[in-house]
Every structure is written in structure tokens, then in C-alpha cells.
Copies of this chain bind each other. A is one copy, B any other.
Amino acid sequence: MNFTVAEENYIKAIWHLQRYNNDVTTNLLAGQLNTRPASVTDMLKKLKTKKLVHYEKYHGFSLTSEGKKIALGIIRRHRLWEFFLAEKLHFDWDEVHDIAEDLEHVSSKKLIDKLDEYLGFPKVDPHGDPIPDNQGKMETSSAIGLHELELNKTAEVSGVGNQSSELLELLKHKNIRIGTKLEVKKRFEFDQSLEIKIRNLPAFTISEQLAKNLLVKYGK
């Protein structure tokens, strides 16, 4: 089966929302896709006839297992292109997302498998998100939010909570990237801000909001 760009964007958005929300709603999806709730309803009907979502009107929706499979294919394409853009074309990590949004809809299976091989079967994209293999399987991350890291334990940044250019710009400014090793030295109760330290550089403070969007793994 073949899908339109619009269909793929809906499938992908539902998949992403399902990850962090117990139930995905019409309004939420409309917000995510910059469209209107009425348009979402229309598309849900269409995706239902294609057996990509379970959907009962007024009672929510979710991806079928077939829908999830399609979603993982799109995400695989997206993240492989992101890796290519960063690694081979030397794009900054805050530039790759938008271009990959377009490239991900080129759906030749052979192209993507050869690209994967050419890139050396990478396991994570430039934001630390895992890349599904050609069977749709991917690493499950043991990462936690920086806000839940214990004090004075070294951890390594392994991902970010989202790909907004705002977040990535801030991280670039603070010199934090995937692989950066750091420790939390102090937690301020007033606003839940954290004082962190990177190597032997002067300690500095980051907001609770930023901390929640920084994924880290324990271990030197």
C-alpha cells in the first residue's frame, strides 16, 4: 500500500502523541498538525477505512498494529535522513529536522535500506532518538530526564525531549550536545532549577523546563 504525504503526517503525529499521552484527542492532534479538529475527524475516517487506526466517533482513536508499522517506517526514514544530513553534509543538529520532514516521504524501500547500509546502520539520530531497523525494531532507551538525576552522579546527555529549533538553539548556546557529560550539583526548591557542571568549566544554572527536555543516561 502507498500513502499520501498528508496520511503519513497524520500517522506519524499520532504515533508521537501516543508515546507521551495516555489518550490522544482530536484537539491535541489538530494542534500538533496545525490544522482544525474538523479536518482531523475527516482524516480519521479515512485512516479507519484503511485499517490504520481504531476509531469510534466521540470515543477516541489509536493506531492499529498495521498503523504502528507504517509509523515506524516513516520514523526510520526521517531519522536516517537526519543522520545523513548531520554526519555527511555537516548540517547543525537544529537544521536537520525540517529537511528530513520532506525527505521522509520518499518511500523507496531499497533507497532507505541502502542509505542505512551506507551510513553504517546507525542506532540513534543526531538528537539521540533511536532509529528503527528494517524490521521496525529499535533500541529502547534507558534515558531519564535530567530533572530526575541524582546529585553528584555523572551522566551523559543521550537525547532531547523535542526537536524545536528553540530548544536546540538554547542547547547550542549552552554548549550542550549529545554525548556531553555532566553532573547536577544542586537543586533549588524555589523553581526547581538546577546547577550543573560540565567537566572543569564553571557551573551554571538551567531551568526546570530545560532539565525536563534533556535526556541523560548514568555512567561515565
B-contacting residues of A (Cβ < 8 Å)? 85, 88-91, 95, 98-99, 102-103, 106-108, 110-111, 114-115, 118
Contact = CB atoms under 8 A, between A and B. Distances in A.
A90 B91 CA distance: 23
A108 B114 CA distance: 23
A114 B91 contact: yes
Q: Which 10 pairs from chain A and chain B are nearest by CB?
A: A102-B106, A89-B114, A99-B108, A99-B111, A89-B118, A103-B106, A88-B118, A89-B115, A91-B114, A90-B114
Contacts of A88: 118
A111 B89 CA distance: 8
20 contacts: A85-B111, A88-B118, A89-B111, A89-B114, A89-B115, A89-B118, A90-B114, A91-B110, A91-B114, A95-B110, A98-B108, A99-B106, A99-B108, A99-B111, A102-B106, A102-B107, A102-B108, A103-B103, A103-B106, A106-B106
A118 B99 CA distance: 17
Contacts of A111: 85, 89, 99
Nearest to A88: B118
Contacts of A89: 111, 114-115, 118
A82 to B, nearest CB: 12
A98 B118 CA distance: 20
Contacts of A106: 99, 102-103, 106
A107 B89 CA distance: 16
A107 B99 CA distance: 9
Contacts of A114: 89-91
Contacts of A98: 108
A5 to B, nearest CB: 9
Nearest to A101: B106
Given A91-B110, A95-B110, 17 more contacts: A85-B111, A88-B118, A89-B111, A89-B114, A89-B115, A89-B118, A90-B114, A91-B114, A99-B106, A99-B108, A99-B111, A102-B106, A102-B107, A102-B108, A103-B103, A103-B106, A106-B106
